[in-house]
Amino acid sequence: MIGTDRIPPLIRRNTMLLASTQALVSACTQLVPTLAAIVIERLLGSMLLAGLGSSVVYVARLLIAFPIGWVMDAFGRKAGLLLGLALLFGGALGVGAAISVRSFPFFLLSLLVFGLGVGAGQQLRTAAADMYLPQRRAEGLGYVLTGAVVGALGGTVLVSVAQLGAPALGADPVALAWLFAPLVILPSMALVLLVRPDPRTIAADLPRFYTGYRPSAEREEVMIAAGAGLAAWLRHYPLLVAFLSMFAAQGVMAMLMALTPLVMSHQGQALTMISIAVSLHVIGMYALSVPLGRLTDRIGRRVVILLGLGVAGIGAVLVPITPEYWVATLGLVLVGVGWSCVNVAVTALIADTVPVIERGRAIGVVDSAGGLASVALPLLGGPLVQGLGPMSLAALALLLVAAPGVLALRLGEPIPGEYAHALPA
Q: What is the 3-state secondary structure (H, E, C) of 292-346?
A: HHHHHHHHCHHHHHHHHHHHHHHHHHHHHHCCCHHHHHHHHHHHHHHHHHHHHHH
**Quick check: 57 and 118 in contact, CB under 8 A?**
yes
Task: State pTM to two decimals.
Answer: 0.83
Number of helices (H), then strands (E), belonging to the chain: the values are 21, 0
Cα separation, 178 vs 158, whole angstroms: 9
Cα separation, 192 vs 285, whole angstroms: 22
Within a 10 A sphere around the Cβ of 326, how many other Cβ atoms?
10
Backbone angles phi, psi at 415, to 5 degrees: -130, 140
Q: What is the pLDDT at residue 226? A: 63
Q: Comparing C-alpha atoms, which of 91, 410, 396 is closest to residue 252?
A: 396
Q: Is residue 423 helix, strand or coil?
A: coil
Residues of the chain by 3-state class (helix, strand, coil), percent to 5: 80, 0, 20
Cα separation, 151 vs 378, whole angstroms: 24
Backbone angles phi, psi at 188, to 5 degrees: -65, -30
**Quick check: 154 and 184 in contact, CB under 8 A?**
yes
Q: Is residue 277 helix, strand or coil?
A: helix
Q: Comparing C-alpha atoms, which of 146, 115, 153 is closest to residue 21?
A: 146
Q: What is the pLDDT at residue 2? A: 44
Backbone angles phi, psi at 59, to 5 degrees: -60, -45
pLDDT digits (tens), the chain, 425 positions? 344 568 999 999 999 999 999 999 988 988 887 888 888 888 887 767 776 887 788 789 889 999 999 999 999 999 999 999 999 999 999 999 999 999 999 999 999 999 999 999 999 999 999 999 988 999 999 999 998 888 877 877 888 888 888 888 888 899 999 999 999 999 999 999 999 999 999 999 999 999 888 876 655 556 676 667 788 888 899 999 999 999 999 999 988 887 777 777 777 777 778 778 887 888 899 899 999 999 999 999 999 999 999 999 999 999 888 778 888 899 999 999 999 999 999 999 999 999 988 999 999 999 999 888 877 887 787 788 778 877 888 899 999 999 999 999 999 999 998 898 877 76
Q: What is the pLDDT at residue 1? A: 35
**Quick check: 326 and 274 in contact, CB under 8 A?**
no
Cα separation, 423 vs 192, whole angstroms: 35
- Do you know the residue count of the chain? 425
Q: What is the pLDDT at residue 217? A: 60
Cα separation, 169 vs 165, whole angstroms: 6
**Domains of the chain, earliest start first:** 9-201+219-409 (1.20.1250.20)
Q: How far is CA 338 from CA 248, 311, 375, in A?
A: 11, 5, 20
For the chain, what is the radius of gyration of the CA atoms? 20
The per-residue b/e assignment along 51-67, b for 16 or more CB within 10 angstroms, e otherwise, is bbbbbbbbbbbbbbbbb
Considering only the C-alpha atoms of the chain, give the largest distance between any 2 of them, rounded to a whole number of Å.
66
Which distant-in-sequence residues (6+ apart) come within 8 Å of 177 by Cβ? 31, 35, 96, 158, 159, 162, 163
